[in-house]
Structure 1
Amino acid sequence: MKKLPIGIQTFENMIRENFAYVDKTSFVAGLRDEGKYYFLSRPRRFGKSLLLSTIKAAFQGKKELFQGLYLEHNWDWETVHPVVHVSFGSGVTRSLDELQGAFSYILDEHAKAYAITSVYTDLRTRFADLIKTLHDTFGRQVVILVDEYDKPILDNGLPDRRGIRARGAEHCRVCVGRGGEKVERAPPLADVATNFKPGLDAVSFANYVY
């Protein structure tokens, strides 16, 4: 009997450790085919982080994880994309400096993983340069996943950053942002959301969850 995946939010861990998994991978194919920018906003514990990690595994070409699942025969496993996965879900962010430090660490870890370097110090420029360099280096557009973007904002009431825009569209294959709260409670996404389409409609998301 397979174990129940209580508290497991990573698709790869769920599969490799033989936890029970109800196949929802057809939704990943839908996200791939139907658009480019997505914003997932639903209550906590609705499987958003699990969905992002499933997207990550698929675009990284980890076919062995999808044996017996919908994507096994409905995905181009020969085409592998670099993935930038940013998560702000761990710990409590007490200040803007802590947030910048956490983001800098995430960028450093991606640079190490892909053996690339950047000459820039500004975080926004480093992020843009990382995406462009990955595209140029690997010849494939980058998949960008941002998990719990709103947590540092809600942790500490960080300053409003309206006007942020998704840049470098030519370097991006799919970009998925997800938060657990309403957009209006997290001002930085109030404008950004205009560039994104809902990731799943209400019926589709209900089917994904259940």
Structure 2
Amino acid sequence: MTDSIFRRLPVGIQSFKVIREENYLYVDKSDIVWNMVNLGDKYNYLSRPRRFGKSVLVDTLESYLEGRKDLFEGLKIMQLEKDWKQYPVIRLDMSRGGANEDTLRSYLNLRFKDYEEKYNITPDPTAMLADRFHAIIATAYKQTGLRVAVLIDEYDSPLQHSWRTPEHEKCTGVYREVFAILKADDEYEQFIFITGITKFTQISLFSVLNNLSNISFMPEYAAICGITEEEIKENFMPEL
């Protein structure tokens, strides 16, 4: 028996940085990530079931877009990327948005406050969340000279948890209010990526972001997260 049987497997780990820095086994998806960002559409939506690697993918995208070249040494992307740029990235994890309007607004308020501090923005205390979101995107662009990437993970979590309750329409209203900015601020944006489990049609993001490309069933992105049978054979033979 070889030592390879004791390789570290990233079970339950969602941080690409931890996987790479702490020498966990990583099934290389970096070439698909590069192709999506550089050759694909600007506004993207990907649907996958729970526990399917969506959050690891979002974390990988964040690392790439922030120019963390050190985390990608030895991966396929190194043969593709020749100009590592450090784009400003705004990342939202909507699974932390709760199941009602108050918790959703509270989460967005906290995240926006983090980015306002990062970019030295003093928000108007009477400003709506949408206005603050716009100010963050525009200011990040103006301060860095690079267009902004926005990554939204588990976008539909508050909608799922509030489904068939009076809070559902209120949560939908927050989405319409805030995320319409993504379309309005097109000139400041480099790349938009949104994940979810279910595409809620006619409401939420999809009512205001009608320019989203649903890449969920595109063959070129079929293996962008999760593990295929071929990848299991290529990467996990010692364990098998």
Mark yes or no: TM-score above 0.5.
Answer: yes
Instruction: Count residues in correspondence.
Output: 207
| Structure 2 counterpart of 1:127 | 133
Deviation at 1:193, TM superposition (A): 5.2
Matched-pair contact (CA < 8 Å) for 1:63–1:77: no
Separation in 2 of the partners of 1:192 and 1:3? 43
| Structure 1 counterpart of 2:69 | 63
Find the structure with the greater CA-based Rg.
2
| Structure 1 counterpart of 2:187 | 170
| Structure 2 counterpart of 1:3 | 8
Structure 1: state its 5+ residue gaps. none
| Structure 2 counterpart of 1:45 | 51
Sort the Cα spacing of 1:139 and 1:175 in 2 relative to 1 into closer, same or farther, 3 A: same
Instruction: Please point out which of 79, 95, 98 is paired with 1:73.
Output: 79
Over residues 7-63 of structure 1, what are the superposed CA-to-partner deviations in whole Å (9 max), with x where a residue is unaligned? 111211111121110111111111112221001112112211111111110011111
Instruction: Give the TM-score normalised by the residue count of structure 2.
Output: 0.79
Matched-pair contact (CA < 8 Å) for 1:11–1:50: yes
Q: Report sequence identity in percent.
A: 28
Indicate the SS of the match to 1:146: strand
Deviation at 1:200, TM superposition (A): 5.0
Deviation at 1:151, TM superposition (A): 0.6
Give yes or no for the alignment of 1:23 onto 2:49: no
Separation in 2 of the partners of 1:70 and 1:123? 39
Deviation at 1:143, TM superposition (A): 0.5
Deviation at 1:82, TM superposition (A): 0.4
Sort the Cα spacing of 1:207 and 1:94 in 2 relative to 1 into closer, same or farther, 3 A: closer
Indicate the SS of the match to 2:95: coil
Give yes or no for the alignment of 1:198 onto 2:214: yes
Instruction: Give the TM-score normalised by the residue count of structure 1.
Output: 0.89
**Alignment RMSD (CA, Å):** 2.0
Over residues 63-120 of structure 1, what are the superposed CA-to-partner deviations in whole Å (9 max), with x where a residue is unaligned? 1100110112322444210000011223x714201110110101111223x3421333
Structure 2: state its 5+ residue gaps. 1-5, 229-240
